[in-house]
Amino acid sequence: MAEIEVIEGLVAFVKRDCPTCTLVVPVLEALAAGQTLTVYTQDDPTFPAGLDPADDTSLELSWRNKIETVPTLVRIDGGKETGRAVGWHRGEWETVSGVEGLGPDLPALRPGCGSRSVDPTIAPSLRAEFGDSILKARRVELDAEDDFEAMFDRGWSDGLPLVPPTRERVLAMLDGTARRPDEIVAIVPPSLVECTVEKVAVNAVMAGCKPEYLPVVLAAVEAACTDEFNMHGLLCTTMPTGPVIVVNGPIRHRIGMNSGMNVFGQGNRANLTIGRALQLVVRNVGGGRPGEIDRATHGNPGKISFCFAEDEENSPFEPLAVSRGIDPHCDAITLFPGEAPRCVVDQISRDPESLARSLAVTLRTVHHPKLIIVFDAIVAIGPEHARVFREAGWDRAKLTARLHELLTIPGEELERGAGGIAEGVPGKLTGTTLPKFKPDGILLVHCGGRAGLFSAIIGGWAGGDIGSTPVTRRIG
């Protein structure tokens, strides 16, 4: 580590492009006449003339010694800093230097200028070049002119352009969490590779995330790599399903997530890049690539990214995460193995029973009207439909209970061959009734724009031991 290169004496950091630095040149000359003074200049190696300035145009010493403002005067005793004055303040300079009567013709104080080492266009590269390395991932040198094409060629992309994960960007991304870069977040399927916080950060950069999104991405990666969620199985299935992230808690607002108009669509950076980052981790760390381990017959656009926030404040229901055991007002994600959303249109029902029946008949079609119990579903209630339930006093428990009642189906309708359809449940089921969903298989979420009498259904993948169970996890 490059330290100030004097054992005893005074050190000043200046730059020509600073009126206060020019102002204090006579003071520096007076100090140099009576004691050891080293002047480091950040922009012009000849400034100040006559003081034999040392060249710090690389800004290494300024960065390493945490210079935020110029001029800065530092006292070194026994190789250690014992005093510092920032800007021009006569009293502080006299204290640090031990010399009285400095700059009698100058004003008593003047603020300094920003050090070039903290310029936001420069500081990230200084941190990457001179900081103690905390990054352990393999470095790949790419020509800046073709880095986008090179990332495509190396198979890192989901088909869309990526943000090059430079050291500067990865270090900035890691500022979004207090977790150590080398901490193991998860073992990522299908290749069962250890994934560190740093590797998640690399993929979050490529996805276009901001640092403040990183805690959400980390929670999603942890949830995806649990035995319950079974990401390996979800990759291997030929069904069109992938991870769907639902975010609850105050973090929705802190990072600017969308829970309203066009909630499942384009346009919101947090929603789109968080979901994409999870998918890139599975692809680039775990090896889950389409056409290889990913065997989906059709897939769906949500396999690029499917992440949204719940509109908790205007909901007639408690938040999804709270219904799944998370304390109120805590940040959390629920990871669901889902297909693309389908719209439920009911612009006439104004009573909860009628609207519940509309939702139920559409829920029966999840994957097939004659296939039961195997699949879960998210019911995303739009605000105008939610108003119907709110005004009638229906909470989450009442609506889900009624949906389950409406989705208890006569066995003869489910038998193979019934209705002239070979698909169905094997055996003779006349005189029985069977549920469409498991008792916990319907997840209610409130989201969407305030105009339009619509809701949406996201069908799930196979549940239980052979499939995937939704996982809810706290963020942070």
Q: For the whole model, what pTM was predicted?
A: 0.85
- What's the pLDDT tens digit per position in 111-124? 999 999 999 999 98
Mean of pLDDT over the chain: 94
| Distance separating alpha carbons of residues 29 and 104, to the nearest angstrom | 14
User: Contact, 423 vs 437, CB < 8 A?
Assistant: no
Q: What is the CA radius of gyration of the chain?
A: 31
Residue among 230, 162, 247, 150 at smallest CA distance from 190 = 230
- What's the pLDDT tens digit per position in 328-370? 999 999 999 999 999 999 999 999 999 999 999 999 999 999 9
Average pLDDT (428-452) is: 96
* pLDDT tier for residue 404 given thresholds of 50, 70 and 90: very high
Superfamily of domain 9-128: Glutaredoxin (3.40.30.10)
> Would you say residue 1 has pLDDT above 50?
no
Residue the block writes with tokens 């490059």: 2
What pLDDT score was predicted for residue 99?
A: 96
Residue ranges of the chain assigned to CATH 3.40.30.10: 9-128
Average pLDDT (146-175) is: 91
Q: 3-class DSSP state for residue 433?
A: strand
Least confident of 139-143, 181-185, 302-306: 139-143
- What's the pLDDT tens digit per position in 66-102? 999 999 999 999 889 999 999 999 999 999 999 999 9
Residue among 295, 280, 194 at smallest CA distance from 241 = 295
| Distance separating alpha carbons of residues 47 and 39, to the nearest angstrom | 9
| Distance separating alpha carbons of residues 14 and 59, to the nearest angstrom | 11
- Show the beta-strand stretches assigned E in 290-331: 307-309
Which H or E element spans position 453?
none
Please, is 430 exposed, middle or buried when counting C-beta atoms within 10 Å of its C-beta (0-12, 13-18, 19+)? exposed
Residue among 306, 188, 299 at smallest CA distance from 244 = 306
Higher pLDDT among residues 460 and 4, named by residue: 460
